[in-house]
Structure 1
């Protein structure tokens, strides 16, 4: 959530697992009907990278 140019970011949850955050919707990201949380850091980071390429930040 620190990088204003990216729509998706990864956040460490209290469970020590990671979540992909959708800054546009201000909620956990979903893909294929699944909430992208409870992930290992590497998986969350890869998913966020893919989602940022497919769904870039929109303005307005």
Structure 2
């Protein structure tokens, strides 16, 4: 996990796994599904997908901001 990541995985008291949203300090959502009660493999795969999407969104926003600054 890098410092730019938004999501991590945690083990629940029931020995299942949850993808945790580090910014909102709550279980992560994918659409209308809470990413909880997962196997460790499922949770890690979901975390990786969510973090990849988050990084791409951040890069896109930064590129858009840079283009607006360059145009000014």
If the length of structure 1 is used for normalisation, what is the TM-score? 0.83
Bigger proportion of residues as helix = 2
> What is the Cα-based RMSD across aligned positions, in Å?
1.9
Structure 1 stretches of 4+ with a deviation exceeding 3 A read 2-5
1:23 deviation in Å?
A: 0.4
The count of corresponding residues between Structure 1 and Structure 2 is 57
Bigger proportion of residues as strand = 1
Structure 1 residue aligned with 2:50? 51
Gaps of at least 5 residues in structure 1 are none
1:3 deviation in Å?
A: 5.6
If the length of structure 2 is used for normalisation, what is the TM-score? 0.70
Which structure has the greater CA radius of gyration? 2
